Structure 1
Amino acid sequence: MSRQRPGKAPLPPAEVNIEKLENVINEGNYYGAQQMYKSISARYVSAQRHSEALDILHSGACLQLKNSQVTCGSELAVIFVETLVKAKVPYDDDVLDRIRKIYKTFPQIPLPQDLGEDDDMQQLNEALGAAKTRVECCLSFLKAAIKWSAEFGAHRNGSPEIHFMLAEYVYSESPELDMTRVSYHFVRGNNPKKFASTIVNFMGKCYPGEEDLAIARAILMYLSMGNLRDANFLMDELKKHAQYKEHDLPQSDLIQFINYLLPTLQRDALPLFNMLRTNYKSSIDREPAFNELLDEIAELFYGVQRRNPLQGMFGDIFQMMG
């Protein structure tokens, strides 16, 4: 009589492992749970049971993050996105909601204020380090999600909703604020009204001379994507905020240039466009990337071909933010 070769035990329904792993988390064994989440979900992937692997990873990411285990939670969140790619899961509202749920569980912890003593400075340094880790971890997850969304059915630049999440988190949580990165994702997002209020908030706490750069950068980024509608909307919103005395718009040559540029682009007026660039050259040159953005705008709106092979350098830098 032939003997059957022992095989691997069949995998139980995902809910069984989700409950078991939740108990490990509740016992405070975060590292042990992490290794189990990774190994168990990998077994479901190997068995082509991707949906259950995604359920396990999603549960683990949310639980670890709710328990402030940012590194563990974000690692599972990234594996969740990698599994979406392996399973070729199409972009839709249901998956977007799952990504949003993970995003919402990333901790948002205000930095301590008014510190002065040595012990307090040590506390501040530790808080700054933790904040950097949170931002880097959230960025890794959301950038992976943007890449997946672009490949599997969202806008070619990636999901506007996920871009908005990224911009929002970087602005609110980053200890070293990079408004260029924030703007890059806001203009690929779907909430120009929130972008306007974010710029107003930034203007209330930035260094003198940065206000008009932030406004011009935002407008030019929108225009370099051919998005004249949201560029105009953003400027109108900023003017509304100024009317209600929330923050005055800067009265600078750069803002004057933007105010002239927007109506110019609504017309077939390449000579006027070129004249504006010449007349306001010193203001435009305050940020090197502005000239490349304007070259992209000239190409999009007036069909002007760029000739300099070095052009595109700053565009490549922007792409690294995506």
Structure 2
Amino acid sequence: MFFFQTIEKLDNMVDGGNYYEAQQMYKSTSARYIAAQKYLEALDILQSGALVQLKHGQVICGAELAIMFVDTLVNGALAYNEETFDRIRKIYEAFPRIHVPHFLGDDYDDDGQKLSEAISAAKVRSESCSSFLRAAIRWSAEIGTSRNGSPELHVMLAEYIYSESPETDMTKVSSHFVRGNDPKKFASMLANFMGKCYPGEDDTAIARGVIMYLSQGNLRDANLLMDELKEQLKSTNLDFPKTDLIQFIKYLLPTLERDAYPLLGHYGRSIRQVQIVTLYLRR
């Protein structure tokens, strides 16, 4: 009873606007439970604190407690399972979401002050949530889910970077998607990107995704990505790019399943482009 009263008291402090004081109490209280190796109790306190701070828009405070939540999973050598993933997902979903790229419009001052403030706030949100999810991915890799860490967490991070970062880094987005387990969602993101990217960026984004899958030895999802992207573009009345690079990718995939190298002779320039992309990915 005392334990739950403590959590309620701390949450009420945040609700009352005492964010910093509550933050110090969350940290000190959880530290006592960790010192006593009562890791589950510490997790309850840190999760509750992260959720209530994020609910009130206190992103830095919430992210700090969220990362401490992951650190406690590490210190307690706790397993990655459906329960722990669900707790991480709940914290992730509590991070504020405001799509800054869509802010451009009449709501902002002519001097751009409001836009500048919005972009700065978006960077804080994106970096804070990304730090939390990267820590969770490292923990999941260390605990043995897979060499690259939890595929589900990679998908979550890819989605957040794409939708919330004021400067979309498609290389990072694609890198996490290919370590994930949802090529259909990856295709949906690429279709969305193609609808608003600069001319000439669309085929590079598609080729990058395919080559990244292949660099992971994942021919199946590389094919799934292309097939799903074709379907999604058809449903949105967008044309699939018809460049040499895309034509090369279309030949490359069956080539890896059978001896069809002579089909690629015409696409020497595209091969060089893919070689450059591959070298970049290995850096």
What TM-score, normalized by structure 2, do the two folds share? 0.93
CA distance in 2, matches of 1:288, 1:124: 39
2:152/2:181 contact within 8 Å kept: yes
Q: Is structure 2 residue 11 aligned with structure 1 residue 19?
A: no
Query: In the alignment, which of 165, 173, 182 is matched to residue 173 of structure 2?
Result: 182
- Cα deviation for residue 20 of structure 1 reads 1.2
Change (3 A) 1:133 1:222: same
SS of residue in 2 equivalent to 1:83 = helix
CA distance in 2, matches of 1:258, 1:38: 51
CA distance in 2, matches of 1:242, 1:138: 30
2:183/2:225 contact within 8 Å kept: yes
Q: Counterpart of 1:148? A: 139
Greater Rg over alpha carbons, structure: 1
1:14/1:56 contact within 8 Å kept: no
Q: Is structure 2 residue 97 aligned with structure 1 residue 108?
A: yes
Please give the residue correspondences for 1:219-298 in structure 2 after superposition, counting only pairs within 5 Å. Answer: 219-267=210-258, 269=259, 272=261, 276=264, 279-286=266-273, 289-292=276-279
> Match of 1:74, as an amino acid?
A
> Match of 1:315, as an amino acid?
R
Please give the residue correspondences for 1:28-107 in structure 2 after superposition, counting only pairs within 5 Å. Answer: 28-107=17-96
1:52-101 Cα distance to aligned partner (Å, 9 max, x none): 01110010011111111000000000010011000000111100000000
Change (3 A) 1:232 1:314: closer
2:191/2:232 contact within 8 Å kept: yes
Q: Is structure 2 residue 104 aligned with structure 1 residue 137?
A: no
Aligned residues: 281
> Match of 2:82, as an amino acid?
D
Question: Any unmatched runs of 5+ in structure 1?
Answer: 1-11, 293-312, 317-322
Q: Percent identity?
A: 59
- Cα deviation for residue 146 of structure 1 reads 0.2
1:128-151 Cα distance to aligned partner (Å, 9 max, x none): 000011000001000000000011
2:213/2:219 contact within 8 Å kept: yes
Q: Is structure 2 residue 94 aligned with structure 1 residue 127?
A: no
> Match of 2:119, as an amino acid?
L
Q: Which has the higher helix share?
A: 2
1:122-174 Cα distance to aligned partner (Å, 9 max, x none): 00000000001100000100000000001113121110110010001111111
> Match of 1:258, as an amino acid?
I
- Cα deviation for residue 282 of structure 1 reads 2.3
- Cα deviation for residue 314 of structure 1 reads 3.7
CA distance in 1, matches of 2:81, 2:107: 49
SS of residue in 2 equivalent to 1:65 = helix
- Cα deviation for residue 291 of structure 1 reads 3.6
CA distance in 2, matches of 1:246, 1:32: 54
Change (3 A) 1:50 1:198: same
- Cα deviation for residue 16 of structure 1 reads 2.6
- Cα deviation for residue 23 of structure 1 reads 1.2
1:131/1:175 contact within 8 Å kept: yes
> Match of 1:114, as an amino acid?
G
- Cα deviation for residue 105 of structure 1 reads 0.2
2:49/2:62 contact within 8 Å kept: yes
CA distance in 1, matches of 2:145, 2:2: 31
What TM-score, normalized by structure 1, do the two folds share? 0.82
Q: Counterpart of 2:282? A: 315
SS of residue in 2 equivalent to 1:280 = helix
Q: Counterpart of 1:160? A: 151
